[in-house]
Structure 1
């Protein structure tokens, strides 16, 4: 019987939000990353960006507050904080490609020990039409953090020596937040910064497809 409890999706998002400094410009990917905007401490200003052309995204709206014209790149309803703005998506991608985002938080199917990320397709027969904006974000943002479960539903590791899925970008990931641990991608390999209560390095290693060491 295990002595540890994995984090929920909301808890992963909250843990990521803790580490985002005041004043950063941040893009959030689809899935768990979207929840990060709801978890930023009230005394901290983080400017959230969407690649379809928004700066200053706030928490998700209540059902009664939904504006059907205000959505993010994942087609989810969002709110706009005071001072927020809209602009053409070509200007949005100029921000991304110009290195003006401090951070991008993405979901992923796999992350390799060297920071390769695969987050858009699981095979050449996948239904996703193309890699999309994640490719630009992975190489354009100054930092890339990944939010994902540590293993698949079948128990296979998502942190691996080499990605088996089509890459989104090579050597792009700086840090990974899973439901079990916080792990940095370093020149010396995957460094464990933090583990859930009760988790041991040996137990975490057994669920990881690449060598780990303590940071």
Structure 2
């Protein structure tokens, strides 16, 4: 589940994008979830686990963000295992997410994170490739990810309403072998055609100001 948390809401499963989705650092808090990547579904789409929609807290925007599945929870996935032992997980469906910043209570309700996409897990569990379309929400949860996003001209946390964002994440240990996310070794943004990109921290600032009536 660790790479899904990286793109925390970038996936159609809503609670990545993430991105982002997509498109996570060891500081991220994750609820208990079924083993991930999942076993082959033999071509059938299944509803994403209910745990995907539980609140998750991630460090971002100078504070902590809590992301919770919104009112729309129609995400589906299917999983296929290649002859080489890699696992490809495909997402589709419609989902929304609610986002709250701890420092000021700024809230964004019912953000659409229905972008379709794929996660590919290497057989040894140390490399994950993510490829998602908008609308997606992506959060960099460690300095390595943030630096890779900055090099690609992207904020540390953002939404993109259209286009595609793809990247390869390499970890220092298998992602499914420990309770916390392993150290990120490298991140390579391989495709960035994201359009209508909005800095999530700016959106929360605006929401906070509106809530305060200023």
TM range (shorter): under 0.3
Greater fraction strand? 2
Greater fraction helix? 1
TM-score (norm 2): 0.27
